[in-house]
Amino acid sequence: MKMVMYHGVYAPWEHYPKFLRQSEVRNPLIPLKGFFDANTVEGHIEKLKRWRFFVVGVEHYDDVRFGPGNLLYDYELNIRLLESLYLLLLDYQEHSYSYTKITEADLAGEKERWVWYPSDLTEKELLNPHLIIKAGFDEVQPQEFRDHLWEWINAALSSNPIDESMTPGEFITVYEHLVKLYSAAWLIFRRETEGSHLKRAPESANTIGSVTGDQREANTDTPVNNDTLQEPSPAEKLGLKAVADLIVKTTPSVQLIMHLATHQNPFIFFLFVVIDHREMHSKEKIAVEIEKNCSKLVSVVAIVKKLRRVRKAVKEGLRFINNALWCKNTIYRSTSLKLPRPQYEFPITMNQREIVDAWEQWGSHGHMLGKDAMKRLEARNYLDSLFGIDQAIESLLRGLIKMHTGFLPYNRNIVTLLKMTLLFTEKYWDLFYKDAEPALRAIGLLTSEIGRGRDPLPEPVDEEAIKILLSKSQIIANSFLEEYSLLLTEASGQ
């Protein structure tokens, strides 16, 4: 009996995603975001054209900066995109009745608002990009796309062009479908996420991570974000100039340095630094180097972004970048730097989706980690409990920073995260550093190699310090939940 592969609304095992995490299978928009974070639609098409050139030519692919291995990165990006689109198509086929219908008026609004808009699609395809995905997978199924692109990899990295295993017709078909799928993915991604990217704020809104008067009264903390709007003092200006000179000298790829805020006690300069996207080192490594170099002069927290990402964020009106540039406290700017004009001449406030995402992705996760750490402590499993507390506090602080500022810290160092919370409140810093000696001993244990799970606990075990840390973790979790509820209520009423 001839076996027939099932092609219904549920993905058969052969087409099941091979490159996506379980969380990405549940939410296929996550890989789409990663795809468009990596490059624009036009940029991806240019890279695909270059890949195609080496597939059919006698030369082999070799990226000037990253070598031939960079092609494997492009391969994975494309496969992850295809697998995500296949899942989105399955969801559409099963729930199309619940999807919002796009009208011609919607198309006109999109063309006016968006920096880039597909020019190679019919109006029918623009109205429903799922038609493009269906047509693509009807002709080339997901596993076939994977197989074809793997042949492309082998051919592009070889000095011999592609052999007869792929016909010219197949080669052209794969390329043309990929180009159209890029446009379809862009339309779906922008329509699904535009609310969070382009939400406008009233003229009276505050800047990065700032809270309104009502929030301040409800939180009963001492917000330091007012400093963001204040002109630095003459002494601070001298200090900022010395810091900027040092950064430019030690990090030649720097294009822009902006002063976000100054906190007085502890004294910290918060800086937004933009580096050239051709910089070989990661933004994380650059940030650590800047903070280390500047520590000889003053304590600095550097939030580093690469130029291409900043340009993209400006065009899309992302909250943190828009608000950082809105501050206008520039202390260094390269003469060659060119940035697009920000979409908004006022700061953007957090919206309901950002608040919910911050709690669901980091807040609730940190809360659960804290509960697990308590169970391990009760079982006298001290090292695992300490490691769990470290993970819980890290997750909670990252979520709080993301919710209040729009920036998700890449630095996982607890002390640095606590410093970043000073952009919007002092209460989390004070929880550890304005308490009695046992609390200072506890934070010392948490930030040591022991707290990170790298060294064993010394005997006798400082059980009191671990209990103090667990208590602090619970306080942060409860505070996060209170802020989440308050901000969500306010955002719902906007």
Q: Out of 122-131, 193-202, 238-247, 446-455, which region has the weakest mean confidence (pLDDT)?
A: 193-202
Q: What's residue 346's pLDDT?
A: 62
Tell how strand 254-263 and strand 330-333 pair up. antiparallel
Tokens read off for 364: 């609730």
Residue 328 or 177, more confident: 177
pLDDT at residue 215 above 60?
no
Higher per-residue confidence, 180 vs 216: 180
In terms of average pLDDT, the best of 126-140, 147-161, 412-426 is 126-140
Confidence of residue 227 (pLDDT cuts 50, 70, 90): very low
Of the listed ranges 25-34, 199-208, 285-294, 404-413, the one predicted with least confidence: 199-208
- Whether this model's pTM surpasses 0.85: no
Is the separation of the CB atoms in 439 and 472 below 8 Å? yes
Burial 235-246 (b: 16+ CB within 10 A, else e): ebeebbeebbeb
Does the structure show a pLDDT above 80 at 10? no
Angle between helices 382-405 and 463-492 (to 10 degrees): 30
Indicate if the pLDDT at residue 476 is higher than 70: yes
pLDDT digits (tens, 9 = 90+) for 351-374: 888 888 889 889 999 999 999 989
pLDDT of residue 490: 77
Q: Given this model, what pLDDT does residue 185 score?
A: 95
- H-helix or E-strand spanning residue 272: strand 268-275
Q: Is 25 helix (H, G, I), strand (E, B) or coil?
A: helix
Is the pLDDT confidence value at 196 over 90? no
> Rounded to an integer, what distance in angstroms lies between the CA atom of residue 103 and that of residue 122?
14
Which of 211-225, 290-304, 313-327, 385-399 shows the lowest mean pLDDT across its residues? 211-225
Q: What is the CATH number of domain 213-333?
A: 3.30.460
Do 213-333 and 352-492 come out as alike in CATH topology?
no
Could you report the per-residue pLDDT of 280-317, keeping only the tens digit for each? 888 889 999 999 999 988 999 999 999 988 888 888 77
Tokens for 293?
A: 């170099």
Instruction: Name the CATH superfamily housing domain 352-492.
Output: Nucleotidyltransferases  domain 2 (1.20.120.330)
Give per-residue pLDDT as tens, 71-108. 888 899 999 999 999 999 988 888 877 778 899 999 99
Higher pLDDT, 172 or 437: 172
Q: Which residues of 26-61 are buried (b: 16+ CB within 10 A; e: fewer)?
A: eebbbbbeebbebbbbeebbebbeebbebbeeeeeb
165 or 282: whose pLDDT is higher? 282
- Domain spans, the chain: 13-197, 213-333, 352-492
Mean pLDDT of the chain, nearest integer: 80
What is the structure's pLDDT at 59? 76
Segment 222-234 shows an average pLDDT of 50
Confidence of residue 339 (pLDDT cuts 50, 70, 90): confident
Minimum mean pLDDT range among 118-127, 211-220, 329-338, 404-413: 211-220
| 37 closest CA partner among 327, 318, 350, 396 | 318
Percent of the chain's residues with pLDDT above 90: 30
Whole-number pLDDT of residue 23: 80
Position 207 scores a pLDDT of 37
Two structure tokens written together for 326 = 């809105």
CA 17 to each of CA 133, 138, 146, 328: distance values in angstroms, whole numbers, following the listed order? 16, 17, 10, 45
With cut-offs at 50, 70 and 90, classify the pLDDT of residue 448.
low
Comparing CA positions, the residue from 227, 122, 121 lying closest to residue 182 is 121
More confidently predicted of 331 and 433: 331
Q: What is the pLDDT of residue 223?
A: 29
